[in-house]
A and B are shown apart, each in its own frame.
Chain A
Amino acid sequence: VSQSLLIPAPVTGADPVPAGSDPRRRWVLLAAGLVAALALPWFVYPPVAMDVAAMALFAIALDLLLGYTGLLSFGHAAFWGSSAYVTGLIATHYGVPFPVAVVGGAVFAMILAVPVGYLSVRRSGIYFAMVTLAFAQMVYFIGYQWSGLTGGENGLQGVPRRFFGIEAVETNSFYFYYAALPIILFGLWAAWRIVHSPFGRVLVSIRDNAQRARALGYEVDRYKLLAFVLSAGLTGLAGGVFAISHGFVALTELQWSTSGEVVLMTVLGGIGTLWGGVLGAFIVVMLADYLASSGHQGIDLVTGSVFVLAVLLFRRGIWGTVRHQWLVRQQRRAASRRSPADADPARR
């Protein structure tokens, strides 16, 4: 039975020269990314910029599972939404600075991910997607029914934004962006660190061939579970920041469509590319914002069509396509460099 892969061109290992392996190129990309992150609220309405940042971390946390462990979670709204609620509740009831509330939300998401992940990793492939989707729907119903705590259909309203009494951050979303950005950047750094750690290598080997990893003595299910919990934690950080930024948590944060939206971002950016998620998030959030502000009614119509087209025609995603083209050029250049050398002796 052949192990079918979701990723058209595996990121690590199979590519002869992974993009970004050139240290100079890596620093240039990193600097460009940082500048873009810092400059974003100058060009984009700051709350929207915050959405882009939070969604980017969300998409990258999903890619940690989808691209690097080979597990499509279609239930990540459970961790995004539950962290948003817990963050909102902590901020409302305890009056702590918002980063503390966000960390609380992320910890809750990780705790929730333990039983969900434990059950879900017992199935793989398409089953994993279905099971995570179903568990997320269960969490949705709990949020819906427990309206005394969550506000039910009305959502959790009036989430305060406290930050050591610094009024600029608490009231102005432009300054808030810079106060919350370190949390997002920490999440991105953690994802990058996980992927490039020995643990991340094991995850990739599980993605490529679970049986081989098992034969080599790795406890595959335990690795998958740990990846799931870590991904949920990063998702929780993003969801918490999102909740504080909006000052409001809607029930839709727990809904299946949110799970789908983040998958779209990851697919658009490129599965298994990590940073592609940032581009995917930027495009989807900006598109939704543009449609909403231009009075367009059917956002789902556009999102759904983009989804269908991306899956049909653009499976590598943006980052994946760029990297693929770059690799092709690199190989061609290497080949042309070799051929004159081969021809040399004949000329001599």
Chain B
Amino acid sequence: MLDVNAILQYTVQGLAAGSFYALAALGLAVIFGVLGVVNFAHGAFYMLGAVAAAVLLDSLDLTLWWSLLVVPVLMFVFGVVVERLLVQWLLRLDPLYNFLLTFGLTLVLVELVKQRYGVSGLPYRLPGGLSGRVDLGGVVLPRYQLFVLLFSVAVCGLVWLVMTRTRVGLIVRAASEKPELARALGINVSRWVTPVFGFGVALAGLAGVLAAPFRAITADMGDNFGIILFAVVVIGGLGSIVGAVVAGFVVGLVEAFGQAYAPTFAQILIFVLMALIILIRPAGLFGRKEATA
């Protein structure tokens, strides 16, 4: 009954799907850490990343390799614009206001894409080197899923290195953990607010590019994705960067195994997991106790 081959396949599939959650949740966590903003539009930014990849391929013939480079840069710029234009005005108020603002922004972005590109999915094809399957000692796995997994683990590792080994990372961690103290020590936290928002948006866009060959590219592809991201950060512990990544992969696995063995309940399982975490560990897997009531 237990087929090792199948289980390995589901595992890789789940980790690949989890990569999208992990990357995007990482962006969400960094933004929340430094700005104190829960970005509702993260799912929409993920969708924009995928749409941008499809448009680049269609109009400029830029393959996935180029998109992986270009789209995050574009999304970074877009994020900076959004932060300067909208988000910054509400940073001093209750975080709920920016939550509502980015909700409104989501409606606008999704509708704009819907009007421009229609409701049917945009086509996407993989560059030759990434399609097909690889045979790893009897276990046959889709090559692209393995690539997604390795690539996102590499990106997460890179972010981890930046966070722990560089001065920028030190500042970002200080700003997210003890903002007042960081300010008191003479660190200009506000200077990092805009780039960090852009960076978080770029990560969501990157997740979108990776998902482009994997998912139907439609205007509403980010809707459910964004809500599951919230479940991911609640499970991982909002504000915890490690928690976001780990919970992202866990949720991907739950989704993949759910789809394999209980397809009706696959989506529901994620939220059941979230409910269990709230019941057992309200602060999330890696979260500390809620500082503000």
Contact = CB atoms under 8 A, between A and B. Distances in A.
B3 interface: no
Given A122-B282, A134-B230, A307 B107 contact: yes
Contacts of A120: 278
Interface in B102-117: 103-108, 110-112, 114-115
Contacts of B282: 122-123
Contact of B230 (A130, A304, A306): A130
B63 interface: no
A126 B39 CA distance: 11
A73 B49 CA distance: 29
A141 B259 CA distance: 14
B38 A130 contact: yes
Nearest to A4: B94
Nearest to B238: A127
Interface stretch (A9-17, A99-107, A180-188, A293-301): A293-301
B271 interface: yes
A341 interface: no
A119 B278 contact: yes
B108 A311 contact: no
Given A122-B282, A130-B230, A301-B108, A312 B103 contact: no
Contact of B268 (A74, A138, A307): A138
Contacts of B114: 298
Interface in B73-116: 86, 89-90, 93-97, 99-101, 103-108, 110-112, 114-115
Interface residues on B, range: 35 or more
A225 to B, nearest CB: 14
Contact of A307 (B96, B103, B264, B291): B103
B223 A256 contact: yes
Interface in A87-101: none
B104 A306 contact: yes
B105 A312 contact: no
A157 interface: no
B94 A6 contact: yes
B224 interface: yes
A267 interface: yes
A263 B95 contact: no
Nearest to A214: B293
Interface string B216-256: 00000001100110110110001000000000000000000
Most central of B233, B265, B292 by chain A CB within 10 Å: B292
A73 to B, nearest CB: 11
B275 interface: yes
A124 interface: yes
B274 interface: yes
B290 interface: yes
A120 B279 CA distance: 10
Nearest to A137: B227
Contacts of B271: 134-135, 137-138, 141
Contacts of A28: none
Contacts of B231: 134
A211 B292 CA distance: 11
Contacts of A4: 93-95, 292
A197 interface: no
B112 A301 contact: yes
A1 B291 CA distance: 8
Nearest to B103: A260
Given A72-B96, A130-B230, A305-B108, A123 B290 contact: yes
Contacts of B279: 119, 122
A134 B110 contact: no
B96 A257 contact: no
Contact of B107 (A145, A267, A300): A300
B31 to A, nearest CB: 12
B107 A297 contact: no
Given A1-B292, A307-B104, A307-B107, A129 B99 contact: yes
B156 to A, nearest CB: 22
Interface in B278-293: 278-279, 282, 290-293
B268 A127 contact: no
Nearest to A124: B293
Contact of B94 (A5, A133, A256, A298): A5
A322 interface: no
B11 interface: no
A331 B278 CA distance: 47
B107 A304 contact: yes
A300 B86 contact: no
A304 B230 CA distance: 20
B101 A308 contact: yes
B9 interface: no
A246 interface: no
A126 B224 contact: no
A303 interface: yes
Given A3-B293, A130-B234, A134-B230, A304 B268 contact: no
Interface of B: 38, 86, 89-90, 93-97, 99-101, 103-108, 110-112, 114-115, 223-224, 227-228, 230-231, 233-234, 238, 264-265, 267-268, 271-272, 274-275, 278-279, 282, 290-293
30 contacts: A3-B292, A4-B94, A4-B95, A119-B275, A119-B278, A122-B279, A125-B95, A127-B238, A130-B238, A134-B228, A134-B230, A137-B224, A137-B271, A138-B271, A138-B272, A145-B265, A260-B107, A267-B100, A300-B108, A300-B110, A301-B111, A301-B115, A304-B104, A307-B103, A307-B104, A308-B108, A311-B97, A311-B100, A312-B89, A312-B90
Please name the 3 residue pairs, one residue from A and one from B, whose CB atoms are nearest each other, closest first: A307-B104, A304-B107, A138-B271
Given A5-B94, A138-B268, A300-B111, 13 more contacts: A3-B292, A123-B278, A124-B293, A126-B99, A130-B238, A134-B227, A137-B227, A138-B267, A210-B293, A256-B223, A264-B104, A304-B111, A312-B90
